[in-house]
Amino acid sequence: MYASVWRRVFAIAQVLGEPEPRDHPRWPWTIAIETLLVVPVLDAAPPIEAIGVAARSMSQQSHISIRREHYERAVEAIASIAA
């Protein structure tokens, strides 16, 4: 999971189901997740560049697709802080 203002990766989560509509004008969809790893203090979370993703690729995006290597780097970086 990515905190855009801070440009930091702060959690790893697993999707538990399919997207479901909800009655909200800005965020009309929701999805159940299970958080697997979380950095307890956002300022301590690794920057997005630590997982090999350029911060500019995140601008104006609600989400991006990442490759396996980015996921593995994120798990390693977050686990080293969350543990």
CA pair distance 30, 60, nearest whole angstrom = 20
Q: Where are the domains of the chain?
A: 2-82
Total-model pTM? 0.83
| Pairing state between β 20-21 and 29-30 | antiparallel
DSSP result, 35-80: EEEE-SSGGGSPBGGGGT--GGGGTT-S-----HHHHHHHHHHHHH
Please tell me what DSSP assigns to residue 4.
T
Looking up tokens 């930091």 gives 8
pLDDT digits (tens, 9 = 90+) for 31-59: 999 999 999 999 999 999 999 998 888 87
